[in-house]
C-alpha cells in the first residue's frame, strides 16, 4: 500500500459528530485492505465494511478517530518505505510531522457527499396504460364497486 494515491475517500457528516466514510479503490481486495488498515488504527469499530459496490465500501467513525487513524497510517507508510525511513533519524519529531501533513492534505481533498433531503423535486412520470372495468357501477361517484 503506497501513500493512498490509489483510493478515493468521500464522506457524509451527520449532526451528532459522526461521519460515514466512503472508500473507493480499483478493486475489492485493495478496498478491503484499506478498510482493515483503518480498522487496525481504530478509525472504526465495525468488524465488516458496508459494501456499496464491488470496489467501494463505507464505514462509520468520528472526525477525531479518523484524523488520528490517518496520522498513524501515514506514519506507518513513511516508516515502512525502506531506505527513506532512515532520513527521519535526527529530525525533530521524527516522521510524525510529515505524516500529519500528508494526512491533513488527504483529508482536505476528501469530497463531501450531499446528504440533504430535497423537497419539491420534479419526479419521474410513469404511465401504466389504461385503467378500465367491465362493470360500469364501479365508476359511480362515492360508492364502492358493485353496490
4-39 pLDDT, tens digit each = 778 899 898 887 888 899 999 999 999 999 999 999
Is 114 a residue whose pLDDT tops 60?
yes
pTM metric for this prediction:
0.69
CB 32 within 8 A of CB 76: no
Instruction: Tell me how far CA of residue 30 lies from CA of 35, 50, 106, 140, in angstroms.
Output: 9, 15, 18, 64
State the chain's mean pLDDT as an integer: 79
Specify the higher pLDDT residue, 94 or 119: 94
| Upper half-sphere CA count for residue 8 (Cβ side, 13 Å) | 9
Instruction: Give the number of C-alpha atoms closer than 13 A to the C-alpha of residue 107, restricted to the C-beta side.
Output: 18
Q: Is the dihedral of CA 88, 78, 67, 103 positive or negative?
A: positive
| CATH match for 8-112 among 2.60.120, 3.40.50, 1.20.120, 3.30.70 | 3.30.70
At 23 the pLDDT is 92
Amino acid at each position: 500500500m503506497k501513500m493512498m494515491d490509489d483510493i478515493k475517500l468521500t464522506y457524509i457528516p451527520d449532526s451528532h459528530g459522526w461521519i460515514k466514510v466512503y472508500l473507493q479503490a480499483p478493486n475489492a481486495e485493495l478496498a478491503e485492505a484499506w478498510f482493515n488498515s483503518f480498522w487496525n488504527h481504530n478509525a472504526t469499530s465495525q468488524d465488516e465494511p458496508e459494501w456499496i459496490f464491488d470496489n467501494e465500501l463505507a464505514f462509520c467513525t468520528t472526525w477525531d478517530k479518523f484524523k488520528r487513524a490517518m496520522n498513524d497510517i501515514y506514519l506507518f507508510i513513511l516508516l515502512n518505505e525502506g531506505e527513506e525511513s532512515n532520513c527521519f533519524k535526527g529530525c525533530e519529531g521524527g516522521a510524525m510531522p510529515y505524516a500529519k501533513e500528508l494526512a491533513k492534505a488527504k483529508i482536505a481533498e476528501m469530497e463531501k457527499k450531499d446528504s440533504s433531503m430535497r423537497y419539491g423535486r420534479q419526479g419521474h412520470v410513469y404511465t401504466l396504460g389504461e385503467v378500465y372495468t367491465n362493470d360500469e357501477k364501479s365508476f359511480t361517484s362515492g360508492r364502492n364497486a358493485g353496490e
